A = this chain, B = another copy of it.
Amino acid sequence: MMEAQVNDPAGMELSHLRVVLVETTHPGNIGAAARAMKNMGLSRLYLVNPARFPHADATARASGADDLLAKAVSCASLDEALTGCGLVFGASARLRTISWPQVDPRQCAGMAAAANGNTEVALVFGREHAGLTNVELEQCHYLVHIPANPAFSSLNLAAAVQILAYEMRLSLDTEAAPPVKLDRPDTTLATADELAGLYRHLEQTMIDIGFLDPARPRQLMRRLRRLFNRAHLDRMELNILRGILKAAQARAKDSSRG
């Protein structure tokens, strides 16, 4: 990373970005993704349970981006890979069934650039054939949909990484692309792991106060997650919400005791 940044000033401006590849099957795709990243000045690769890595195919396809492979961070879960991230984009085919905030690559890059300075940003890519699961998609604040031929819409993994990385690089020298908000420059957004903690706390509290029956959870947590992801909580807001939950739990405990 250091070398790349020395030679490529843009690399420093993109250093808040991490690319997360979830359960990649073909090691060649990991290598090709690393090459695509390095070509565009991105340097931080996270791998969630790759099928085979390290692997000669990864090194071959990296074509000189071996340094990114060497310092790739291996993770046991997507949660772990998202630790510290305040803004999470999941690459996905257009979804018909779930309505989740969707952006295109250019909007995604504009938002990621706007977040630079105080927020870590993750770009998450799913399995070659199956993409991301619904549970994984729900850990993303936005889905990024790459415009494609509807009759043949599945891009190669590294090709998708290439397009997003390209837009990230372009976003640096663009006065053109209209800045897409996140207009709270002074706040520190809550990270993905902090949000995960909030959701666990919220779920437990709803059980404690008798609102959620764990045997029949329905869509409740999904809906609430979507709501709070959309709001881009900052850290103080998150702390307030946790304070409210704690107080509600304390009263519920009193009442069951009483």
**Chain A interfacial positions (CB closer than 8 Å to B):** 3-4, 6-8, 10-11, 32, 35-36, 38-41, 61, 63-65, 99, 101-104, 106-107, 111, 146-156, 158-159, 162-163, 166, 169-170, 173, 176-184, 186-187, 205-206, 208-211, 220, 223-224, 227-228, 230-233, 236-237, 240, 243-244, 247-248, 250-252, 254-255, 257-258
Which label, helix, strand, loop or mixed, suits the secondary structure of the A interface?
helix
| C-alpha spacing A35/B73, complex, angstroms | 30
Q: Contact partner of A206 among B64, B178, B244, B255, CB < 8 A?
A: B244
Residues of B within 8 A of A187 (CB): 99
Q: A149-B7, A240-B223 are in contact. Are A251 and B183 (CB under 8 A)?
A: no
| C-alpha spacing A240/B221, complex, angstroms | 10
CB <8 Å contact, B180 and A99:
no
CB <8 Å contact, A32 and B156:
yes
Would you give the shortest CB distance from A71 to chain B, in whole angstroms? 15
CB <8 Å contact, A230 and B227:
no
CB <8 Å contact, A232 and B230:
yes
Q: A38-B152, A244-B211 are in contact. Are A99 and B186 (CB under 8 A)?
A: yes
Q: Contact partner of A248 among B7, B184, B209, CB < 8 A?
A: B209
Would you give the shortest CB distance from A232 to chain B, in whole angstroms? 7
Q: Contact partner of A178 among B65, B177, B255, CB < 8 A?
A: B177
19 CB contacts below 8 A, A to B, read A11-B149, A39-B152, A40-B147, A99-B184, A99-B187, A106-B177, A158-B159, A159-B162, A162-B163, A180-B180, A180-B181, A205-B248, A211-B244, A211-B247, A223-B237, A230-B232, A251-B252, A254-B255, A257-B258
